[in-house]
């Protein structure tokens, strides 16, 4: 045995307990411990063997921190086969989240019981992998091919009741898991229950047509990813090959996935997301303020979605608007969003009603007097925001957190409009605010530690992934986006069509091309932001010329059914518009730009390396705490493909020397105004190092 696994014989049951906090991952010590305990149990007087876990969960998977290191015996597939071939019935008792390799251990047992609160799943695909210890072979044998494909290609866990209905769990228990599992083991022993080997079950066969259809659906749902297709291959092998050969197929494809850049990128994202919750210079025991009631100012696109987040998490919300009419519009947006949520199966009608009723409307600031947090989401205008914060300063109780959802404005200047800048913070939600996972938490110069700690914890409570940003124009995400968007629009004026730019980026993996995104967000938003800036800060005039003209023509994007594209009013399907093409050509001529063919690799490199280069500056200036935080911002807020690991990981994967060479080439071709290499990029290339190693040494 090892310190992570203990064994004891209790009333004829050999009880193996895994205790490897926090999530009982299958580290080498756990695998070795399980191997030793199994051997002991088969040599003593026990009549059945129970595998159970201490702490908050059954085994939640292989130990991801061991990936990439030389594998050590016993290997997990061998351990699973030892379990299945044990001389006595083996029972798994599941609680918490039995995931990945943990669930594969359970599938190798002869019987499975679970607490009703338990969840099971095979989330390997989210790490760019496939189940590598029999999951693709045993799941279809127990649950059927279709259910196996859904479970393994989605990676989403299912609850114990669903697992029981699929035959993946045999027995649901209540109360104390150990007591209930021991009692069930006793029953199995009493009735001389046989050892049921999952590997010996027959797999139902389904037609090639069904598999082909599945693959073509995946081509849309998992565009660009390799693991989902290898999963289908493995499940097909379960149907067509005997178990040992199916296992060999799974092993081969598992190793291919493990060695792929996609899996490296997705594993990077797993840890980057968890690390982004840690704040430099803030101890874990920083006290937090209680948040029970939240005020939201402005019930437009953002405010209405922001209000829903807090109501959904059980908090009371007061939504403040300038007029009854504006308030009623906002409450209607909210009502519509809740109807949409019911339709999508997010919650029941009763739950939606309960949540909606938590949101009260007002036009009086006095209603915010007892709010613990107020989030301002009015028009993007510094003076207006400062007036509102001065008003809040007068009306809100002491200790209330005052947050702004501004996209670009200086949070320090907004804070300075109050007598309590330490209570002021930026909470930058993304549209649609009740759906998008990212929350940029903007730490202003005087933001108090407990305000920051409270907002990070609150973000988790409302289901967001928070990333801390310092104050700068556009914070992390939008500051980088301005460079990406500039290059997209320059490609258009220089010769590419909007579709060529969007298609190149979508084929590369972006959820949506940049020009389609601008149309979705509203071209007027960027237009107004530019108008609010002094002329010398509006950026390259060639870049925004087409967008500005479109807005002036009343083409603001999807909301007016026309922008860079034309949109079908019902389906929102985009089509190219010859009128836009003619406009682009006219504007190019007026600007003296000679149009040329631009290939997709130039489009991708210009847009993505513009992100990487600006990201480097953001890290250097300390606006982002670490490169991984930027990756989280881009994957969760901007549709950057997780399988490329975010822009900073991607830069490292390509090789920083390659990135710098291309940036320098673009500087020569397009000028230093848009293409000045980040000093950090130059330094890392000169030092012959990469961002990952630099971050290990320089970022906590």
Q: Say how far apart CA 451 and CA 448 lie, in whole Å.
A: 5
Q: CB neighbours (10 Å) of residue 679?
A: 11
Q: Are 211 and 238 in contact (CB under 8 A)?
A: no
Q: Which residues contact 211 (CB under 8 A, 6 or more apart)?
A: 232, 236
- Nearest residue to 472 (alpha-carbon basis) of 440, 436, 449, 450: 440
The answer to whether the beta carbons of residues 61 and 119 sit under 8 Å apart is: no
Give the residue nearest to ligand NAI (CB): 300
Find, among 247, 125, 107, the residue nearest to 168 by Cα. Answer: 107
Of residues 4, 83, 86, 133, which one binds ligand 3HC by CB under 6 A? 133
Give yes or no for residue 320 binding ligand NAI (CB under 6 A): yes
* Beta carbons of 76 and 32 less than 8 angstroms apart: no
Closest CB to ligand 3HC among 100 and 330?
100
322 scored as a contact of ligand NAI (CB under 6 A): yes
Asked if 297 interacts with ligand NAI (CB under 6 A), we say: yes
Helix (H) or strand (E) holding 84: helix 76-84
303 binds ligand NAI (CB under 6 A): yes
Of 636, 658, 573, 601, the C-alpha closest to 269 is 636
CA-to-CA distance for 374 and 370, rounded, in angstroms?
A: 10
Which of the listed partners (ligand NAI, ligand 3HC, none) does 515 bind, with a CB threshold of 5 to 8 Å by partner kind?
none
63 is a site residue for ligand 3HC (CB under 6 A): yes
Quickly tell me which residue has 């027995």 as its tokens.
171
The minimum distance between CB 670 and ligand NAI, in angstroms, equals 29
- 431 in contact with ligand NAI (CB under 6 A): yes
Q: Give the integer Cα–Cα distance in Å for 58 and 103.
A: 9
Enclosing H/E stretch for 10: strand 5-10
Which residues are annotated as catalytic? 104, 124
Regarding 295 and contact with ligand NAI (CB under 6 A), the answer is no
Contact window for ligand 3HC (CB under 6 A) among 55-63, 145-153, 228-236, 351-359: 55-63
For position 123 contacting ligand 3HC by CB under 6 A, the verdict is: yes
Contact 84, 34 (CB under 8 A): no
Q: Could you say which of ligand 3HC, ligand NAI, none residue 23 binds, taking C-beta under 5 to 8 angstroms by partner kind?
A: ligand 3HC
- Does residue 22 interact with ligand 3HC by CB under 6 A? yes
Residue 309 touching ligand NAI (CB under 6 A): no
Q: CA 561 to CA 555: how far, in whole Å?
A: 8
By beta-carbon proximity to ligand 3HC, the closer residue of 25 and 90 is 25
Nearer to ligand NAI, 120 or 377 (CB): 377
Q: How far is the CB of 575 from ligand NAI (least distance, A)?
A: 24
Select from ligand NAI, ligand 3HC, none the partner in contact with residue 22, using the beta carbon and a kind-dependent cut-off of 5 to 8 Å: ligand 3HC
User: What tokens does 230 get?
Assistant: 């290898």
**70-99 binders of ligand 3HC (CB under 6 A):** 76, 97, 99
Partner from ligand 3HC, ligand NAI, none binding residue 534, C-beta < 5-8 Å depending on class: none
Q: Which of residues 134-173 bind ligand 3HC (CB under 6 A)?
A: 135
Task: Decide if residue 485 touches ligand NAI (CB under 6 A).
Answer: no
Taking CB under 6 A as the criterion, the residue among 153, 276, 406, 625 binding ligand NAI is: 406
C-alpha to C-alpha distance for 3 and 9, rounded to whole angstroms: 17
Tokens of 243: 């178990």
- Binds ligand NAI by CB under 6 A, chosen from 167, 186, 224, 300: 300
> With contact defined as beta carbons under 8 Å apart, do 526 and 518 qualify?
yes
Residue number, 89 or 298, with CB nearest to ligand NAI = 298
Please list the helix, strand and coil fractions of the chain in percent, rounded to the nearest 5, in that order: 55, 10, 35
Q: Which stretch binds ligand 3HC (CB under 6 A): 125-133, 214-222, 368-376, 613-621?
A: 125-133
Q: Which residue has the tokens 């399980």?
A: 34
Nearest CA-CA partner of 624 in 533, 676, 514, 698: 698
Q: Rule CB under 6 A: which residues touch ligand NAI?
A: 297-303, 320-322, 326, 377-380, 388, 405-407, 428-431, 521, 525
Give residues in contact with ligand 3HC (CB under 6 A).
Answer: 22-23, 25, 60-65, 76, 97, 99-101, 104, 123-124, 127, 129, 131-133, 135, 274
């Amino acid at each position: 045995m090892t310190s992570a696994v203990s064994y004891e014989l209790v009333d004829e049951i050999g009880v193996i307990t895994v205790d490897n906090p926090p999530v009982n991952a299958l580290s080498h010590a756990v695998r070795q411990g399980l191997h030793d305990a199994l051997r002991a149990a088969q040599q003593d007087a026990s009549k059945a063997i129970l595998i159970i876990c201490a702490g908050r969960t059954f085994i939640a998977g292989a130990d991801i921190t061991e990936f990439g290191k030389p594998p050590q015996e016993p290997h997990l597939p061998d351990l699973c086969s030892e379990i299945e071939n044990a001389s006595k019935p083996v029972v798994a008792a599941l609680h918490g989240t039995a995931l990945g390799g943990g669930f594969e251990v359970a599938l190798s047992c002869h019987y499975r019981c679970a607490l009703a609160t338990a969840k099971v799943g095979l989330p390997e695909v989210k790490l760019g992998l496939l189940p590598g210890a029999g999951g693709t072979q045993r799941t279809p044998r127990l649950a059927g091919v279709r259910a196996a494909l859904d479970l393994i290609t989605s990676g989403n866990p299912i609850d114990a009741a669903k697992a029981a209905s699929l035959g993946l769990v045999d027995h649901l228990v209540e109360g104390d898991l150990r007591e209930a599992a021991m009692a069930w083991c006793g029953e199995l022993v009493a009735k001389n229950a046989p050892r049921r080997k999952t590997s010996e079950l027959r797999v139902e066969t389904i037609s090639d047509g069904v598999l082909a259809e599945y693959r073509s659906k995946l081509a849309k749902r998992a565009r660009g990813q390799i693991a989902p297709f290898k999963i289908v291959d493995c499940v097909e092998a379960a149907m067509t090959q005997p178990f040992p050969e199916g296992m060999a197929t799974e092993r081969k494809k598992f190793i291919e996935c493990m060695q792929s850049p996609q899996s490296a990128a997705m594993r990077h994202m797993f840890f980057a997301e968890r690390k982004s919750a840690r704040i430099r210079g803030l101890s874990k025991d920083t006290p937090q303020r209680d948040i029970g009631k939240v005020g939201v100012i402005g019930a437009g696109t953002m405010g209405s979605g922001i209000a829903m987040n807090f109501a959904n998490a059980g908090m009371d919300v007061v939504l403040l608007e300038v007029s009854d009419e504006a308030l009623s519009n906002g409450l209607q947006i909210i009502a519509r969003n809740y109807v949409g949520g019911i339709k999508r199966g997010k919650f029941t009608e009763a739950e939606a009603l309960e949540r909606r009723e938590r949101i009260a409307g007002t036009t009086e600031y006095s209603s915010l007097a007892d709010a613990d947090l107020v989030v301002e989401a009015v028009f993007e205008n510094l003076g207006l925001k400062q007036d509102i914060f001065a008003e809040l300063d007068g009306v809100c109780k002491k200790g209330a957190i005052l947050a702004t959802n501004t996209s670009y404005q200086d949070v320090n200047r907004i804070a300075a409009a109050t007598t309590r800048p330490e209570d002021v913070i930026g909470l930058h939600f993304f549209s649609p605010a009740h759906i998008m996972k990212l929350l940029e938490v903007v730490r202003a110069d005087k933001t108090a530690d407990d305000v920051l700690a409270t907002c990070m914890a609150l973000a988790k409570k409302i289901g967001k992934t928070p990333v801390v940003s310092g104050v700068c124009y556009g914070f992390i995400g939008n500051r980088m986006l301005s460079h990406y968007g500039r290059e997209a629009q320059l490609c258009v004026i220089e010769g590419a069509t909007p579709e060529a730019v969007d298609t190149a980026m979508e084929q590369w993996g972006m959820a949506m091309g940049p020009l389609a995104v601008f149309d979705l967000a509203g071209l007027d938003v960027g237009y107004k932001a530019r108008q609010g800036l002094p002329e010398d800060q509006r950026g390259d005039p060639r870049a925004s010329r087409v967008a500005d003209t479109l807005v002036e023509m009343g083409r603001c994007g999807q909301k007016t059914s026309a922008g860079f594209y034309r949109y079908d009013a019902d389906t929102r399907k985009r089509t190219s518009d010859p009128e836009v093409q003619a406009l682009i050509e006219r504007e190019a001529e007026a600007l003296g730009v000679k149009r040329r063919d631009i290939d997709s690799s130039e489009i991708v490199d210009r847009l993505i390396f513009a992100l990487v280069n600006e990201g480097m500056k953001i890290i250097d200036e300390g606006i982002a705490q670490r490169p991984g935080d930027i990756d989280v911002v881009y994957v969760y807020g901007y549709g950057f493909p997780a399988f490329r690991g975010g822009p900073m990981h991607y830069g490292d994967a390509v090789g920083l020397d390659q990135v710098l060479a291309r940036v320098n080439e673009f500087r020569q071709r397009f000028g230093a105004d848009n293409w000045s290499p980040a000093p950090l990029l130059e330094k890392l290339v000169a030092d012959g190092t990469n961002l990952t190693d630099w971050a290990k040494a320089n970022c906590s």
